[in-house]
Structure 1
């Protein structure tokens, strides 16, 4: 049996092409504008050799309510790089945060390159000092925040709920919070 959350994560992998509707929850309106403008990066933070399970400090994990041991996902359920799962399941609603280090794709790949999917909405995300995007399918039960931490390197943060307890905008906010925390940690690690 796969580890808890793997099935949800595998379902989230299909985010790149499918949309669904959450009953009673208004989905963000798809963006009809041109490619989002991204701010320049203030500095480079390399992901090479970085363990995604070490990108959140114990204090940050406490703040997020993570209550288990961070776990590295097996390669066969990863998307583009090493991925760590952080479970929040001591009480309902339950969900899992995912952090993925992608040392082989630039954030612009999601705008116009190999990772671009026309069915997904891409909007700027607020990660101070770094180009960042929200990436989601309108009305779907998911949202990810992508941060261009260096040329050709992207950090992905995502939240996978175990049920429909959260509206999509809240999942986007939660993913952005985790991305900001991971960037703060990367800034302190040499």
Structure 2
């Protein structure tokens, strides 16, 4: 009887006649082209959801603008849903200085993030969240509303009540609503 043992120690070698699989390289999502520009200069993120949209989202307080020292990339507004459990917050952020593709290949890119296209008709949009098991439970949708300008919609729960897919669906809904509002004021 012939017994062979093969040990791989981080190296690759080729054996004549044996095909080795190509190393897997994560593919970047393909984003659609933008059909129109919706510049963000001077836009208050707290005005991007209408009263009817806030009712639909069950937002139960006044939208609150975050202080500059806790913002990430631009003016940010928080919309709380905390009248009943589970409680969570939606965030809308206007980023006038970074293109949505910056999250794919630029300074905002993080290799630990899962990225896939988001469905925001007429705009390049990206779902961006930590991989399962990373301990962070939230999801953001980044929408390229104009050249070099991005709208960020995020859903952040106060506990682990939501599966990742639902968090991302909720963030996508808020992104779509904010874009709809932005289209009516531009």
- Report the TM range for the smaller structure's normalisation: 0.7 to 0.9
Give 5+ residue unaligned stretches, structure 1. 1-30
Query: Would the alpha carbon gap of residues 94 and 32 (structure 1) be closer, same or farther in structure 2, given more than 3 Å must change?
Result: farther
Which residue of 1 is the match for residue 170 of structure 2?
A: 174
2:65 maps to 1:69 = no
From 80, 95, 98, give the equivalent of 2:91: 98
SS at match of 2:183: helix
1:36 is the counterpart of 2:29: yes
TM norm structure 2: 0.84
SS state at 2:144 partner: strand
After TM superposition, give the deviation of residue 142 of structure 1 in Å: 1.1
1 or 2, which has the higher helix percentage? Answer: 1
**Structure 1 residue runs of 4 or more that deviate by more than 4 Å after TM superposition:** none
Whole-Å Cα distance in 2 between the matches of residues 117 and 185 of structure 1? 30
Higher relative contact order (CA 8 A, sep 6+): 1
Q: TM-score, normalised by structure 1?
A: 0.82
Unaligned runs of 5+ residues in structure 2 are: 1-23
In 2, Cα distance between equivalents of 1:91 and 1:61: 16
CA RMSD across the alignment:
1.1
The CA distance in 2 between the partners of 1:33 and 1:187, in whole Å, is 34
Q: Deviations over 1:2-24 (max 9, x none)?
A: xxxxxxxxxxxxxxxxxxxxxxx
Using the TM superposition, give the Cα deviation of residue 121 of structure 1 relative to its aligned residue in structure 2, in angstroms.
Answer: 1.0
Matches of 2:46 and 2:149, distance apart in 1: 17
Q: CA deviation at 1:33?
A: 3.7
* TM-fit CA distance, 1:32: 5.7
Query: How many pairs does the alignment contain?
Result: 160
State the structure with more CA Rg.
2
Matched position secondary structure for 1:101:
strand
Query: 2:11 maps to which residue?
Result: none
Aligned equivalent of 2:119: 126
Partners of 1:138 and 1:120 lie apart in 2 by 6
SS in 1 for 2:28: coil
